[in-house]
Amino acid sequence: MDVPVRKGVPVGRRIFFAALVAVLTAQAATKRSAILERATALSTFAAQQVREATPEILAQAEKIAQGTVFFYGRTPVEVGLKDIDWSGSHIRHQEWPAQLNRFFHLGQLASAYRATHQERFAQAARAYIEDWIRGDRYQSAAAFKVGDSGLNMAIRLGTSVQAGWGGTLPVFLGSPAFDDAFVDEVLDSVSRQAEFLSHRLTATGNWRIAELDALVFTALRFPFLSNAQKLLDTGVVGMRNALATQFLPDGVHIERAPGYADWMTQVAANYVQLGRLFPQADARVDAESVVRALDYGAQSELFGVNDSTAPHRDPKRLSRLAVRAELLQRLKLDASSAAQPPLEQVFPQAGQVFLRTEWKPGADYLAFDASTWGGGHSHLSRLSFVFRSKGRMLVADPGILNYEMSDPLGSYGKSTPAHSTLNVGGGNQSGADAQLLRTEFTAETALIQARYQGGYWQGQYRWAFNKGRASGAYGDHERILFWVKGQYILVLDSMSADAGAEIRNCWQLGPMDGWSHDPLTLAWWSRNPDVNLLLELIVPPATSVMRCFEGSRAPLRGWVGFHGNDAVAAPLVEFQYPAGSSNAVLSAVLLAAFSGQARPNYTAKVTRDLSRGTIHHLELGLPDGSTDHIAWTNGLALPVDDGQPFTTDGTFLWHRTSAAGQAAKCFVLDGSYLKHNDVLSFDARERKARLFVPGKSQ
């Protein structure tokens, strides 16, 4: 820092100014040293790690250095380097001003500058920050600027997960563009923003955790700020309370959306580690809760439920499983935790169930949604599920179609008719919790029973029912899913609704290369070169009709999410039938994955209308000539004891007979004995779920 010496200035004053310059220079050097020391101390956190400058990042950095920012990391938007419209009027999308103000583009510039030391990247970083500061009114402002918010501010400041200004500043300190005067300007703005944020924290959800995270990491990165201790105290206490209350006992974050849960789990894991590095920042995180949360992250990677997305094809590597292993090792929790989560795992408080045949891409995977409500990031999708086989999404959850609610796809993607579940008259579920009633798993079978009783409503759901739920219709939906692994899924639905109401049984499928359907037999099948899906209403209620959609705009039907703001056309199959006059209407849908172009032949036989009586029987002929007999009772609450041909105190029964007529295997739910054609198969003291081979001792 040089000060010109003027002629005629008294020697004493020259000495004073020289001393002042020396002090200021020393203070600036001390600040820089402190920033770099803290960056080193925090280097194990993702937000302090600059990504490798890949050719793709370098190409984007060149554009960013010329005033082009990438929306969602993909769509180029010219904003300039000066007099930028930070309100985000360039694009009509609620996420655009948010992303612009979060300064994600600093990441590419930091990567490029560290790799090349080309000053244009540091100069561009200064230009963006300087232009934003030029309009900074947070010293006296009473509200957030247009286009800004508490979450945007938190990410801009930098957290344990997102770099922001705080995480990228150390990279640029060696550049002449980041001279002492400008660094002081940045630090003054950081201090003002953090102070402003500390008085306007969001009450709950991921916003609150991110905001508290920003306060803590701002204080740790810049301990010399005059308000650093205050920010740290506010952030640590708030974070302790938020992490203790925002995770359900099963480890799932309260928003019940995998993408947001991953983020919040990363924060929780970071604070386990942070408390060991900086005792003054110990938020007393429950390490066992973090393990459960990491299990959920690994299980839900391919789900796409609520406000999240899932790949249409399995990735080559299950990234969340790898993250789980890495974090458990870093936190020294690997010795007390299983190397992998179980193949079948239930998260009862969240109401989500996961099953897979292996922890490998390409394995069969089923995830069931009996979710409890998680707020604005929840979808109206109770009792839907996804199914994947041989690396392909076959039954899909649409996930996020668009966050911009002026696009009709935004609200459609959250609606009940967009999901693989039942509705009444095209209405939406209310947002009421589902009830996960029963799960039972064996080596060869899985059974899930769940119920939704919140009715169906004509109001439009966006982030809420902003204009109310409008008119509604009664509906009580119970779903029993029975999976014979490697062969088929049988979905038994019961819907009670007012007489005359139209029941719609919807199936949103993944993107397909081709497909066919037969409205007469109520069957649909895909025509892919690899793995295919057969979907058939094998026991149709009276007067059932079938409709198929793919990428339809009028009406909106047949879309799944991609990237988080794109929608891709995908088949949706809908069966429609009327509600009965008194009894619940029962239906049976069969889904089977198969290879090749010839669809497998399944036949179904029922002795009477499934909607009558309390005990129900279905005989299913399989392509190999064997026969499965399935029997169950209403609500799985009564015994299958009608002797046609089974008598048991169990409430659900699956019995396979080979093509030669020999009893091959059997599953009984809550049975202590079984008679088949009055011949005793087993008799035990304990009622439990059991899979066995008839004729062998139990």
Taking only the tens place, the pLDDT of each residue in 500-524 is: 999 999 999 999 999 999 999 999 9
- CA-wise closest residue to 611 among 630, 640, 588, 636: 588
Tracing tokens 């206490």 back to the chain, one arrives at: 237
User: What confidence score (pLDDT) does residue 611 get?
Assistant: 79
- Residue 20 — very low, low, confident or very high, per pLDDT cuts 50/70/90? very low
Half-sphere exposure of 279 (CA within 13 A, CB side): 0
For 288, the token pair is 């066992």
Q: Which of residues 64 and 565 earns the better pLDDT score?
A: 64
Quick check: 271 pLDDT over 50? yes
Question: In the predicted model, what is the mean pLDDT of residues 250-275?
Answer: 97
Q: Say how many residues make up the chain.
A: 698
HEC per residue, 145-199: CCCCCHHHHHHHHCCCCCCHHHHHHHHHCCCCCCCHHHHHHHHHHHHHHHHHHHC
Question: In the predicted model, what is the mean pLDDT of residues 260-285?
Answer: 97
Quick check: 89 pLDDT over 60? yes
Half-sphere exposure of 642 (CA within 13 A, CB side): 15
Largest CA distance in the chain: 120
d(CA 167, CA 159): 8
Count of other CB atoms within 10 angstroms of residue 480: 24
Any idea which of 26-30, 93-97, 611-615, 655-659 has the lowest mean pLDDT?
A: 26-30
Any idea which of 158-172, 319-333, 581-595, 603-617 has the lowest mean pLDDT?
A: 603-617
User: What confidence score (pLDDT) does residue 1 get?
Assistant: 47
- CA-wise closest residue to 162 among 223, 115, 209, 196: 209
Q: What angle do CA 569, 454, 207 make, to 5 degrees?
A: 65
d(CA 338, CA 298): 13
- CA-wise closest residue to 546 among 526, 521, 566, 575: 575
Tracing tokens 């203790």 back to the chain, one arrives at: 244
Residue percentage of the chain with pLDDT more than 90: 90
- Residue 188 — very low, low, confident or very high, per pLDDT cuts 50/70/90? very high
Count of other CB atoms within 10 angstroms of residue 185: 16
For 548, the token pair is 């198929």
Lay out the sheet containing 344-347: strands in order across: 344-347, 352-356, 365-369, 384-389, 392-395
Cβ-in-10-Å burial (0-12, 13-18, 19+) of 130 comes to middle
Question: In the predicted model, what is the mean pLDDT of residues 259-264?
Answer: 97
d(CA 123, CA 536): 62
Lay out the sheet containing 472-473: strands in order across: 428-429, 456-457, 472-473
- Residue 696 — very low, low, confident or very high, per pLDDT cuts 50/70/90? low
Any idea which of 177-181, 331-335, 425-429, 671-675 has the lowest mean pLDDT?
A: 331-335
- CA-wise closest residue to 158 among 202, 102, 227, 112: 102
Q: How far, in Å, are 151, 156, 197, 396 from residue 137 at the CA level?
A: 17, 15, 13, 46
User: What confidence score (pLDDT) does residue 7 get?
Assistant: 58
Quick check: 340 pLDDT over 90? yes
Predicted model pTM:
0.94
- CA-wise closest residue to 582 among 606, 613, 539: 613
Residues 6+ apart with CB under 8 A from 347: 248, 250, 251, 252, 296, 299, 353, 354
User: What confidence score (pLDDT) does residue 698 get?
Assistant: 52
- Residue 6 — very low, low, confident or very high, per pLDDT cuts 50/70/90? low
d(CA 303, CA 347): 14
pLDDT, mean over the chain: 94
Question: In the predicted model, what is the mean pLDDT of residues 579-590?
Answer: 91
Quick check: 336 pLDDT over 90? no
- 11 sits in which H/E element: helix 11-41
Quick check: 17 pLDDT over 90? no
